[in-house]
Structure formats: C-alpha cells, structure tokens
Amino acid sequence: MTHSSSQSPKHAERIETEPIHRWLTDLQDRICAGLEEAEGGARFAEDRWTRDEGGGGITRVLSGTLFEKAGVNFSRVHGASLPGSATAHRPELAGRAFEAMGVSLVIHPTNPFIPTTHMNVRFFTATKPGAPAIWWFGGGFDLTPYYPFEEDAVHWHRTAQAACTPFDGAFYPRFKEWCDRYFFLKHRNETRGVGGLFFDDLNQGGFDHCFGFTRSVGDHFLPAYLPLVARRRDTAYEERHRQFQLYRRGRYVEFNLLFDRGTLFGIQSGGRTESILMSLPPLVRWEYDYHPEPGTPEARLYRDFLKPVDWLARSATQDPDARTD
C-alpha cells in the first residue's frame, strides 16, 4: 500500500467493504477469463492462501505459449497495527487497525513485441475505537514495451484517458504525470516504460465517486491491453529480439525490488512471499554496460520511449521509424 503526503486521508464513521470485495473478486475472474481466451489453451492455476495475522487471498498464475507468465492476485488482509512502510509518512495511522484489499496483476508475454504490463486497484481503511475511519483508494496501470510502437502507446493512453474523463477531466493528466514519476528508475535515469495511470490516497468527492473511478480503471484494463496483444502476437522475432527482451526485463526486477512500495508493504505486513513476488519475470538476464546500436529499434526505445511523453499529442499514423528489423 502506497501513500502520498499531498493529501489528507478521508474520515468516515463507517465504510461498508463487502461491495468492494465482490467487485474485486469479479474483476479478477473477468481478467483471468479474458487472458485465457487470448491464450487459447493454458489455464490459470489457482492457489488460495491465508495470512496468520488475518485475511488471505487468491493467487492465479498462467504459464502458457502466448503469456510466458501472467499472475493475477486478489488479497484482503487485516491486522491490529500497520507496518513501518505505511506509517512513516502517516503518523496519524499509528495505533490503528487496518484492512487492505486489492487486485494486482503482471503479465510477461513470450513474444518480445508484446509489452509487459501491470495493473493494480486497491482499497485501504484504518480504524480506531471512538474515532472515524480513515480510507482511500489507489491503483492504476502501466505499460512496459520492449520494442517501440507509437500507435500502441497512443492506444494505451487514450484508453487510460477514457477511464478518467467521466469522473474528472483533471484526473488523466494528473495521474499520468504521477505514473511517470512513480515508475522511474532513478539509478538508470529512465522510466520503466511508457506509463499510464497511477493514483493513491484518493478520497475527494466522497466514497461513491472514488469507488466508481477505481472500478472504471480496473474495467478499462483489458480494453487497453488485449488489442495490443492481438496486434503483436503473430510478429515474427529472432533470438536477438528475445535476448533484448530478457535484458530489459531486468529493469522490471530492479524497480520492483528497489522502489516498489507495494512490494515493501506486502513484505513488512507479513504477506505471502510467493504472491508478492509473483510479479517477477520467469526468465531475465543482465549484461554489463549494454548500449544499443545506433539507428536500431532498441536505440529508439531508449531515445524516444523511456521518458515522459505526451502520447495523446502524438500522431499514431506517422511513425516511420517504428520498424522491427
């Protein structure tokens, strides 16, 4: 669970969490069904687990031909006190019981021309006898391509914008910029990919408004991602493309282990390690002091894609350099 010091948590006398639970488990089911349909063969293996301190979850992992590894997790955990990662910037949460629930997924395709992707939607509440509850929503989705296709990034961001606009016209630019800042590898001076949406501590406008927006983000994930899978799944690739994909997957590992606050929260709160680290790719490689050859698609990824870009201002039809040879 991640937090921002830019907002104050919302207080409420009581929050009914069962509708959130039902929507999250339904979202997990729908996303798994959509990915299985695209895969066309392999099915998700399911692992139900419980947490000694309270709660548990459902971990589903698919290892197929199209998706080398796809994991879609649901968790609902609770406890008498919060870990240090949650209270460091929120001293008012100290001494409160908490409940956190969400769906988190990461998809690592086999074909290097299909991007890796991540999505998460979550709800958090902290309570103390005699005091109002503190609650907020968070989430988002982001895209990590290995080969640069401008039209893919444009589609991704147009769908992200469509998820936001009915709720607040300022949400897309605000949460797009937040995503660019959050999924940034400081030690590499590059973004993890082409971004998308990232929001946290969302409570403005009341519970129904915030829950509705969070549902919209979750419900727009498959329309954002599956068209890219369909567009790239039959692209022929060579071993050099695969090796570059495995090298770039290393950046995913670096971010999750060095910077991801959700990973830290899961570990510090006594979550299930296998489920927390489900996001890591099945195969990865590192190469000392790698630099792409000038004029190659790999070089274009570094030059034009691994930085904040206003993708909605780009023309997806004018992309003469997006070649795959």
Instruction: Cite the active site residues.
Output: 118
Is 157 one of the annotated binding-site residues? Answer: yes
Is 203 one of the annotated binding-site residues? Answer: no
Whether the Cβ atoms of residue 203 and residue 10 lie closer than 8 Å to each other: yes
Q: Which residues contact 78 (CB under 8 A, 6 or more apart)?
A: 53, 54, 55, 97, 98, 99, 100
Is 89 one of the annotated binding-site residues? Answer: no
The Cα angle at residue 197 between residues 270 and 161, in degrees rounded to 5: 150
Is 121 one of the annotated binding-site residues? Answer: yes
Is 155 one of the annotated binding-site residues? Answer: no
Is 187 one of the annotated binding-site residues? Answer: yes
293 vs 325: CA distance, rounded Å: 13
213 vs 163: CA distance, rounded Å: 8
Is 209 one of the annotated binding-site residues? Answer: no
65 vs 28: CA distance, rounded Å: 21
| Distance of alpha carbon 223 from the chain centroid | 15
Is 270 one of the annotated binding-site residues? Answer: yes
Q: What SS3 state is found at 1?
A: coil
Is 122 one of the annotated binding-site residues? Answer: yes
Whether the Cβ atoms of residue 86 and residue 93 lie closer than 8 Å to each other: yes
What number of other Cβ atoms are within 10 A of residue 5's Cβ?
8
Q: How far is CA 322 from CA 69, 83, 149, 151, 153, in A?
A: 26, 46, 6, 9, 12
As annotated, the binding site includes 104, 108, 118, 120-122, 157, 187, 270-272
As annotated, the binding site for a divalent metal cation includes 108, 118, 157, 187
As annotated, the binding site for substrate includes 104, 120-122, 270-272
